[in-house]
Amino acid sequence: MSLTIYGDSISGNCLKVKWVAERLSLPFRWIEVDILKGESRTPEFLARNPAGQVPMVILDDGRALAQSNAIMVYLAEGSDLIPADAYDRARMFEWMFWEQYSHEPYVAVARFHVKYLGKAVAELEPRIVERGAAALARLEAALTGTTYLVGDRLSLADIALVAYTRMAHDGGFNLADYPATLAWVRRVEAALPIGDPA
């Protein structure tokens, strides 16, 4: 497989695609796209991905694919990152859908506003902070007494959710308040080729 990944290194959504490719030893070329400079909004980029978002991959046959979780599923097809059991696989998707709807819009958005736009946590819309804390509490409850989100092994659900959870402190959330989640973050980091957060 020849793969080109367009991504911004400050984005957890982009990094999780990179981590899956690296975990599976898939060769790829990384093209840095600076979203803060509007590089995903150029006519050239929009011609490939009209949504103007990263990550985006170009497959070896020239087809483009966007949306981080869709890309991860495509790359991991047939690997041990997708459970073989139908119910466990559905639970993996359950977590991945929840991540994009109930976790990323709050934990990642808080991080972006605080770390990259320079806002104080007190300036954030209260709903973002409340829902981010609720998402972390949901993770904490799910991870108490278990090693991974689905069964006893790493899956795409863990990779999807660790991307922004491990950076939650940038948005004013204290992971020390969620000890099971913090321990899980460390386990997933140890299982993946993850460097320091951007």
99 and 176 assigned to the same domain: yes
Dig out the tokens for 1 from the structure. 């497989």
117 and 150 assigned to the same domain: yes
The answer to whether residue 57 sits within a structural domain is yes
Asked if pLDDT for residue 114 goes beyond 60, the answer is yes
Dig out the tokens for 75 from the structure. 């790359």
Helix (H) or strand (E) holding 7: strand 3-7
Number of domains in the chain: 2
3-state secondary structure of 177: helix
71 and 111 assigned to the same domain: no
The answer to whether residue 198 sits within a structural domain is no
Per-residue pLDDT tens over the stretch 26-51: 999 999 999 999 999 999 999 999 99
**Distance (Å, whole) CA 165 – CA 152:** 20
Asked if pLDDT for residue 195 goes beyond 80, the answer is no
70 and 93 assigned to the same domain: no
Which structural domain range is residue 101 located in?
A: 86-191
Per-residue pLDDT tens over the stretch 115-154: 999 999 999 999 999 999 999 999 999 999 999 999 899 9
The last residue of a domain, from among 76, 100, 119: 76
14 and 101 assigned to the same domain: no
3-7/64-66 β-pairing: unpaired
Q: Are 65 and 26 contacting, i.e. CB atoms less than 8 angstroms apart? A: no
Asked if pLDDT for residue 197 goes beyond 80, the answer is no
Q: Are 162 and 189 contacting, i.e. CB atoms less than 8 angstroms apart? A: yes
The last residue of a domain, from among 76, 106, 121: 76
The burial class, CB within 10 Å (0-12 / 13-18 / 19+), for 117 is: exposed
Asked whether the whole model's pTM tops 0.85, one would answer: yes
Per-residue pLDDT tens over the stretch 61-106: 999 999 999 999 999 999 999 999 999 999 999 999 999 999 999 9
